[in-house]
């Protein structure tokens, strides 16, 4: 049976290997990753692991023995350098050439860098890999000053973890509010207040112009209005860029990621792509989009493994995401595309509420803080496209069960 080559041993690639065996694929599997360790979960790197509440072993997707025991040839510490679709081969950084019958591109995304002076000083950090997380953790501790550049989820989680470790944290965000790209105003205001109450400072609507240091080590962040902020380390969390070069250079269509269909197939029937690297259809929203989430990586890993193993395709899922900060569990389902109003249910002041994004009477997305029923029922409503009565949704004395009854 077919030889499957997977490029990228991250959450998507590692999961695809596991689902292939689970679904009965018997052919060879080769999994190539440029990091030195087997596939692991990234979410704890800014949360439990960073705070010291989870050890490295608990992050692994599978035991280290699993790969050899399941006939999965795991090649670590090597990069895939080029893809030749004509000969169905991939050249690796150690000059080895690996052939395939079916290729899965699962190269993920990398942290976006800030093209400003001082970006290469020691102590200017990013957070994508376990090695990045080690460096960040080493820079934190009682009384240390961390500047977080970018008020997105990774930056905010790191700020919360820094506080838990006794460090100071200041978040610099270019937009007028944090989470501007990914969440609504209600959420931005809520998270800003919650962080401020726990000692995190914010500089909003201002850019970082330069990192300044002494003896090669960062000491200050210079803002666009020329104020300077002293710090011991800076975490740059300004988004991620898909690692789609290998696909693009092989002539596969890329638009902010490798373009795939619902089955995670590229235009080449022998080449699939999954995870953060893909620009994928969102049938619920009639558009293509690049998602960065574990549920997306898992969904596409299942889709690909099903197709290769000859199983029926799983039913498409509603996209979802989560973030943990302090004692807050944020769960988001759907995407707020085309929404024309929002409904707030519950009380942000009590740190238990949900924001529903509606298009007419149809729920497009829900952002739920410490509100699992709102998240769960909201997710079902998004998937079923069932219409809701907005006044009942807004009324927390009406249970979510009754809202959908
Ligand atoms: P990755 O996991 O990034 O794996 C890709 C792998 O391919 C990497 O190891 C990369 O080094 C390797 N690679 C790249 N190019 C090559 C090449 N040419 N040759 C060989 N190997 C290559 N998602 C959530 O849903 N919830 C969360 O709370 C959450 N928190 C997060 C916190 C952090 C700090 C980070 C960084 C991410 C978080 N995410 C979260 C996102 C989630 O981790 C990603 O969506 C997921 O890891 C995507 O899986 P992937 O396999 O597509 O990419």
For residue 3, the SS3 value is: coil
- Judge whether residue 93 has pLDDT over 90: yes
Mean model confidence pLDDT for the chain: 97
For atom 47 of ligand 1, which residue has the closest CA?
A: 11
| Pocket probe mutation, ligand 1, options 150, 254, 293, max atoms within 8 Å of Cβ | 293
- Judge whether residue 310 has pLDDT over 90: yes
Quote the CA–CA distance of 280 and 277 in Å, as a whole number: 9
- Judge whether residue 220 has pLDDT over 90: yes
pLDDT the model gives residue 190? 97
ipTM: 0.99
pLDDT the model gives residue 393? 96
- Judge whether residue 405 has pLDDT over 90: no
Q: How confident is the model at residue 181 (pLDDT cuts 50, 70, 90)?
A: confident
Residue 138 phi, psi dihedral angles, 5° rounding: -65, -25
- Judge whether residue 182 has pLDDT over 90: no
pLDDT the model gives residue 52? 93
Residue 188 phi, psi dihedral angles, 5° rounding: -60, -50
- Which region, left, alpha or beta, applies to residue 251 given φ > 0 means left and ψ of -120 to 50 means alpha? left
Tally the C-alpha atoms within 13 A of residue 318's C-alpha that lie toward its C-beta.
Answer: 22
| Pocket probe mutation, ligand 1, options 9, 11, 42, 289, max atoms within 8 Å of Cβ | 42
Quote the CA–CA distance of 137 and 287 in Å, as a whole number: 39
Q: How confident is the model at residue 8 (pLDDT cuts 50, 70, 90)?
A: very high
For residue 378, the SS3 value is: helix
Segment 227-283, tens digit of pLDDT: 999 999 999 999 999 999 999 999 999 999 999 999 999 999 999 999 999 999 999
Measured at the CA of 101, the angle between CA 273 and CA 129, to 5 degrees, comes to 40
Q: For residue 191, give the nearest of 332, 123, 183 by alpha carbon.
A: 183
Segment 114-147, tens digit of pLDDT: 999 999 999 999 999 999 999 999 999 999 999 9
Measured at the CA of 155, the angle between CA 153 and CA 159, to 5 degrees, comes to 115
pTM: predicted TM-score of the whole model, two decimal places? 0.98
Q: Is 39 in the pocket of ligand 1 (CB under 6 A)?
A: no
Residue 298 phi, psi dihedral angles, 5° rounding: -70, -45
**How crowded is residue 367: how many other Cβ atoms within 10 Å of its Cβ?**
29
Burial class (CB in 10 A: 0-12, 13-18, 19+), 211: buried
């Amino acid at each position: 049976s077919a030889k499957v080559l997977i490029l990228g041993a991250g959450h998507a690639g590692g999961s695809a290997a596991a689902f292939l065996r689970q679904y009965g694929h018997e052919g060879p599997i080769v999994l190539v990753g440029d990091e030195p360790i087997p596939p692991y979960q990234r979410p704890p790197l800014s949360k439990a692991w960073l705070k010291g509440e989870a050890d490295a072993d608990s992050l692994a997707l599978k035991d280290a023995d699993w790969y050899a025991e399941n006939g999965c040839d795991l090649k670590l510490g090597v990069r895939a350098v080029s893809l030749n679709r004509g000969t169905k081969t991939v050249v690796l950084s150690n000059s080895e050439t690996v052939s395939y019958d079916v290729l899965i591109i699962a190269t993920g995304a990398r942290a976006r860098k800030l093209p400003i002076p001082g970006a290469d000083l020691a102590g200017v950090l990013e957070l994508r890999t376990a090695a990045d997380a080690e460096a960040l953790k080493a820079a934190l501790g009682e009384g240390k000053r961390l500047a977080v550049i970018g008020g997105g989820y990774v930056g905010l989680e790191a700020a919360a973890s820094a506080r838990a470790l006794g460090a100071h944290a200041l978040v610099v965000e270019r937009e007028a509010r944090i989470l501007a790209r990914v969440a609504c105003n209600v959420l931005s205001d809520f998270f800003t207040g919650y962080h401020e109450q726990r000692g995190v400072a914010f500089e909003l609507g201002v850019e970082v112009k330069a990192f300044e240091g002494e003896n090669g080590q960062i000491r200050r962040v210079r803002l666009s209005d020329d104020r300077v902020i002293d710090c011991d380390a800076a975490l740059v969390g300004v988004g991620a860029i898909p690692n789609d070069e290998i696909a693009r250079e092989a002539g596969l269509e890329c638009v902010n990621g490798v373009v795939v269909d619902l089955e995670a197939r590229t235009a080449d029937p022998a080449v699939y792509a999954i995870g953060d690297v893909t620009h994928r259809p969102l049938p619920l929203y009639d558009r293509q989009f690049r998602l960065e989430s574990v549920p997306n990586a898992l969904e596409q890993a299942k889709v690909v493994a099903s197709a290769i193993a000859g199983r029926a395709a799983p039913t498409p899922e509603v996209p979802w995401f989560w973030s943990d900060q302090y004692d807050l569990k944020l769960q988001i389902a759907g995407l707020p595309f085309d929404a024309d109003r929002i409904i707030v249910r519950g009380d942000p002041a009590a740190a238990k509420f949900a924001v529903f994004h509606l298009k007419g009477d149809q729920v497009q997305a829900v952002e739920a803080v410490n509100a699992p029923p709102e998240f769960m029922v909201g997710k079902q409503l998004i998937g079923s496209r069932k219409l809701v009565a907005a006044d009942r949704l807004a009324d927390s004395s009406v249970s979510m069960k009754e809202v959908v009854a």
